[in-house]
Structure 1
Amino acid sequence: MNTAFQGQYELILEARAALLDYCATLRPADFTAPVPVFNNSSMRDLLVHVAGAYTVWLGEVGLRREVQRPAASRVPDVAAVRALFTEVDALLTDFMRHYASRWQEPMLFDFSRQAKTLTLMPLQLFTHVVTHEFHHKGQVLSMSRQLGYMPVDTDVIRF
């Protein structure tokens, strides 16, 4: 496996852990509460959406597996979100092993949900899901602020 990408994912795991540790301090009802300015999504909903993106892009598209997107209704709390991301971590390990020496090799990937075939590098799939996670991580923190909380630093480099 490529140790640079493993190292990068370790940093992502630490940042994700900081976010989930923070979410565990919130009232459970607030964690699952719809936030109107975010299209009535909850913090939980966005985190499940992020896990689903990893599942689809790395599992279905990247590894050509039949996958099911996780349903937010089956993920009631932060502990269940952590469990969901444990599955994502295993998927990412499989993805890294599968493409260990071909990160920058253009390949054809079927995106059946859109009936499209895309020419992508595995590096693009990895980068897509990671940047997607960080985009929504910021939204989760903004949602918590909307609900009256003071977000913590969840960046890769934290002070």
Structure 2
Amino acid sequence: MQKLFEYNWQVRQDWLAWCENVSEEELLKKRVGGMGSILYTLFHIIDVEFSWINCLQGNGEPPIPPFEEFASIHKIREFSEQCHSAIAPFVYDWNDSLEEKFLTDINNEGETERFKYGEIMRHVIAHEIHHIGQLSIWSRELGLKPITANLIRRGLFD
């Protein structure tokens, strides 16, 4: 599981670097599908990962400032680094004994839900991969080459 997180983190860093060559206007432009803009999609990916893993760490749902406070590539990169520092130790300490542990959550309708830690971790991984696909489509719409989604050739399994 750690390797898939590392994969997502590498791909995210590649996308953040990709954004350095795109105008802020294009990064914030409302687009069809996904979360609506390139920067907001990156913010959303980071927020979801941080929020779920923060809960798994027993810290509860963290207060996340509104996107408008992060609406630049520099601020999104800082947000990513801060969140990564807070959750990476948990990801690297993951072990099989956590798989079946339960997290109790209250959904938007006020109902109690229970999720296994392993299910949440896999959801977080799949969630980022899903949104990275949207970024790839938008990059092609801009006439730019998207970041490769290949798992191989990233040095993760050397």
Whether these two folds match at TM > 0.5 is yes
Contact 1:52/1:70 (8 A) holds in 2: no
In structure 1, how many angstroms separate the alpha carbons of the residues matched to 2:4 and 2:148? 18
- Tell me if the contact between 2:40 and 2:67 (Cα under 8 Å) persists in the aligned partners: yes
Q: 1:100 to 1:20 in 2, by over 3 A?
A: same
Equivalent pair of 1:105/1:121 in contact (CA under 8 Å): yes
Q: Is 2:13 the counterpart of 1:17?
A: yes
Per the alignment, residue 128 of structure 1 pairs with 123
Structure 1 position 49 matched with structure 2 position 44: yes
Q: What is the CA distance between 1:44 and its match in structure 2?
A: 0.4
CA distance in 1, matches of 2:106, 2:11: 29
One-letter amino acid of the counterpart of residue 10, structure 1: E
1:80 to 1:124, Cα distance in 2 relative to 1, 3 A: same
Q: Deviations over 1:68-107 (max 9, x none)?
A: 2342211122221111111221232354377645321241
Contact 2:100 2:116 (C-alpha < 8 Å) held by counterparts: yes
Which residue, 100, 104, 111 being the options, matches 1:109? Answer: 104
User: How much identity, in percent, do the aligned residues show?
Assistant: 21
When residues 31 and 128 of structure 1 are mapped into structure 2, their CA distance, relative to the original with a 3 A threshold, is same
Alpha carbons of structure 1 residues 40 and 70: separation in structure 2 relative to 1, 3 Å: same
SS of match in other structure, 1:56: helix
- Structure 1, unmatched stretches of 5+, are none
**Map 1:70-81 → 2, pairs under 5 A:** 70-81=65-76
Cα-to-partner distance string for 1:104-159 (whole Å, 9 max, x where unaligned): 12414223544233332211111111111111111112122223323231433359
8 Å Cα contact 1:15-1:156 kept in structure 2:
no
Query: CA 1:100 to 1:110, structure 2 compared with 1: closer, same or farther past 3 Å?
Result: same
Q: Distance in 1 between matches of 2:135 and 2:71?
A: 16
The alignment covers a number of residue pairs equal to: 154
**How far off is 1:61 after superposition?**
6.0
Which ranges in structure 2 are unaligned for 5 or more consecutive residues? none
Are positions 1:85 and 2:89 aligned together? no
Give the match for residue 32 of structure 1: 28
The TM-score, its normalising length taken from structure 1, stands at 0.78
Q: Which moved more, 1:144-153 or 1:72-81?
A: 144-153
Counterparts in 2 of 1:10 and 1:152: CA distance versus 1, 3 Å = closer
